[in-house]
Amino acid sequence: MEGKGEDRTSGATPAQLVEELCQSFLRARSRTLSPTIVDVADESEVAVMRELAIPGNQARPMRQTIEDMLRIMSHRVAMEHPKFFGFIPSPVHESSLLGHVISTMFNIHAGSWYESSGPSAVEDAMVKWLAQRAGLPASAGGIFVSGGSIANLTAIVTARDTRLSFEQRAKAVIYVSEQTHSSVQKALDIAGFHATQTRRVECDKLYRLQPSSLRRLIAADREAGYIPFLVVATCGLTNTGGIDPIPEIAKVAETEDLWLHVDGAYGASVILSKQHSNLAEGVGRAHSLSWDAHKWLFQTYGCGVVLVREARHLIQSFATSASYIQDADEASSAEVNFWNRGIELTRPVRAMKLWFTLQVLGLDKIGEFIDHGIGLAELVQQAFEKLENWTIITSARLGIVNFSYVAWLEGPDGERTEDVSLSERVNVEVSKRAIAQNIAAPLTTRLSGSLNLRMCTISPSLGRDDIIEVVHALDTLATTVSAEMN
């Protein structure tokens, strides 16, 4: 085994190279505003990477392999960059990086208590604590999963198995809104429901699901012989940051005997806010809740959780061997086998990096970080309201604000009307140029059919002065672009 554990060309051990790599990465990361926000590989770079993807017969020097890996990984959207405002960013705290590294070093199989009694004890306690913070009862339980998509799927399968017989599934109907995340319909498809079984509930002017429309649809479906069984509300709409009226939806669900699932992948973290936790009112009335720590709890990807009002319902859906594990025993036991609570048998430790961050920062700091993101979006709104030719499409909510540059046409009588086509082209070009010039990355979306710019401002590393600079830079770009297009 000559040369075992050693890079034959450099003399450095793998451990030394990893240490050097981590130090270099953290030094670069401390200069947060300098990296390229969006780096999409061109055709020649893609060709090189495809060639690098194929392993050779002989070993390559580790240092060169590390350099190649860094080159490959650099072609990405820096979701953690404080000036990336698209989708839902993932501003990772350094403590999560370290927690992730430590978890990976141990390479624990977190499926059963026997294989992972330490991490399983922490995960179970954290699940119960998160459920308690959300307002769920002591009977609640859950499991850490890869993210909101699997959390939603896990909840939907649990709801299906709890509320429907096999024969009833074909007549079951599900209620969502036009703003419900696409992962919900994907989960419904996987769970065996046809798209025609999904009802789109009307939204109000703030793009929130309307309880009155929900009631009408339920009544019509019952009259037609269908079986209403599930309604999905959202705490933190991806487009607007809005929150569906969960208390009113919960009342409908309770009256009509529907399972209420709350997709809180983004917005459930407001529960830990110091100033705005009241926005999550009603979440504790849900039968299930999805919650992503890799969105607004500053974790690396692959850290979500699904909480269910009755832990036994998860076990009834996912227990792997009824011959030696009884549902009641598993539900009441302190020795939790998480492979009986979710889809995966072999699963990594996911909870420990969040535990590490919460221990290192403390809840007060986490709450301040969340409030900071909410305040930045409010500041963006205030700044654009002071500028000419900008309009706010949806007010700042949960760190998200939608806005648009308006291009005007002046008629013979001096009256101004919006040139909708030009406005859209200006907003698209502003986004493209801001990204190309590495100013920031605000992306576009559509609300009620109209295109606008959108910012999600949840990075704790972004200061109030920084966000004002971004607003004025976007205004300068819009003025330039509009003049060119005119």
| pTM recorded for the entire structure | 0.93
Does residue 222 surpass a pLDDT of 90?
yes
pLDDT at 432: 98
Residues in the chain, total: 486
pLDDT at 332: 64
pLDDT at 465: 98
Mean pLDDT of 233-256: 98
Of 181-190, 315-324, 392-401, which gets the smallest average pLDDT? 315-324
- The b/e string for 460-469 (b: 16+ C-beta within 10 A; e otherwise) is bbbeeebbee
Q: Where are the domains of the chain?
A: 42-75, 109-348, 363-485
Domain 109-348 has CATH 3.40.640.10: yes
Mean pLDDT of 380-396: 98
pLDDT at 414: 75
- The amino acid sitting at 11 is G
> Confidence band (pLDDT; 50, 70, 90) for 324?
very low
Q: What are the residues whose beta carbons fall under 8 Å from the beta carbon of 274, sequence distance 6 or more?
A: 364, 367, 368, 370, 371
- CATH no., domain 363-485: 3.90.1150.170
The SS3 call for residue 73 is helix
Distance CA 222, CA 214 (A): 12
Does residue 467 surpass a pLDDT of 60?
yes
- The b/e string for 405-430 (b: 16+ C-beta within 10 A; e otherwise) is bbbeeeeeeeeeeebeebbbbbbebb
Maximum CA pair distance of the chain? 88
Region at 261 (left for phi over 0; alpha for psi -120 to 50; beta for the rest): beta
pLDDT in tens, 412-458: 777 889 999 999 999 999 999 999 999 999 999 999 999 999 999 99
pLDDT at 249: 98
pLDDT at 4: 44
Question: What secondary structure does DSSP assign to 23-46, as a single string?
Answer: HHHHHHHHSTTSS-SB----HHHH
Mean pLDDT of the chain: 93
CA dihedral 282, 286, 290, 293 (to 10 degrees): 40
Percent of all residues in the chain with a pLDDT value above 90, rounded to a whole number: 84
> Confidence band (pLDDT; 50, 70, 90) for 3?
very low
CB of 276 closer than 8 Å to CB of 371: yes
CB of 349 closer than 8 Å to CB of 119: yes
Mean pLDDT of 26-34: 56
Q: Which residue has the tokens 């075992």?
A: 4
Question: What secondary structure does DSSP assign to 268-300, as a single string?
Answer: GGGGG-SS-GGGGTTGGG-SEEEEEHHHHS---
